[in-house]
Amino acid sequence: MSLEAKIGPSILNADLSQLAVESQKLLDNGADYLHLDVMDGHFVPNLTFGHPIVKCLRNKIKEAFFETHMMVAKPEQWITDMADAGVDQYTFHIEPVDDVIGVCRKIRESGMKVGLAIKPKTPVEVVEKYVEMADLVLIMTVEPGFGGQKFMDDMMPKVKHLRDHYPSLNIEVDGGVALNTIDCCAKAGANWIVSGTGVIKADDQRSVMMQLKSSVTNAIAQYSK
Ligand code: DX5
Ligand code: ZN
């Protein structure tokens, strides 16, 4: 299967009292999936929302692909609830988890895809040993917890390493990704692009998402030659 470019806006910095409206607007403007940032105040020093809100959003938005980015201390705890809420892909941080393979299995048994995420200080080799278990690897390009932070371009060697070794793996980047930083993500080999403030705050969301996508599509065409 050939690699596809996908744009998944993060709604973290949107008006969360209007979650369904904001999400639908992003989808209407060309988002390929929704990246839903779940934080528990333990794994990261911030709180957002959990499965009850995701379930309500799913009731309003039937078709879109939902990825939950689980920035939580116990990802194993929320698998069943998130599957029940209609989540398509459960992307969790491996740092606090003892039995990564067991969690991957449980996610798959619940009918969701598996995403494995690492923070900036976690070496890529730590996630690499689980690649076979995953549908996607998320390389964080900021310390998780807040939107609107500065992009860390020193994470690109991790992306490049994965792309060089796993040509068909879905590789996602998240944090500070916007028009000014997309090209280096794309060239390094990322094909799933999370962008929060870069899309949410844009006057023309459609144009920004199209430009992000074409940068990735062009890069894929180059390195797949
Ligand atoms: C950060 C979250 C990100 C964030 C992205 O912890 O995981 O998804 O919302 O927002 P920007 O693009 O503004 O960094
Ligand atoms: Zn995220």
Catalytic residue among 15, 28, 32, 37: 37
Give the span between the Cα atoms of 146 and 7, in whole angstroms.
Answer: 19
* Beta strands 192-195 and 136-140, pairing class: unpaired
Ligand 1 atom showing the smallest separation from residue 195 Cα: 12
Amino acid at 108: R
| CB of 197 sitting under 6 A from ligand 1 | yes
Distances (CA, A) of 145 to 69, 87, 114, 173, 196: 11, 21, 21, 15, 12
Cα-only R_g, the chain: 16
Domains and CATH numbers, the chain: 6-223 (3.20.20.70)
Distance 145 CA to ligand 2 centre (A): 8
Q: What stretches of 51-97 show up as alpha helix (H) in DSSP? A: 51-60, 79-84
Atom of ligand 1 minimally distant from the CA of 149: 14
Residue 176 Cα, ligand 1 centroid: separation in angstroms?
7
pLDDT in tens, the chain (225 residues): 689 999 999 999 899 999 999 999 999 999 999 999 999 999 999 999 999 999 999 999 999 999 999 999 999 999 999 999 999 999 999 999 999 999 999 999 999 999 999 999 999 999 999 999 999 999 999 999 999 999 999 999 999 999 999 999 999 999 999 999 999 999 999 999 999 999 999 999 999 999 999 999 999 999 998
- The CB of 172 under 6 Å from ligand 1? The reply is no
Contact present, 174 and 11 (Cβ < 8 Å): no
- Is the pTM higher than 0.95? The answer reads yes
Q: How far apart are CA 6 and CA 43, in angstroms?
A: 27
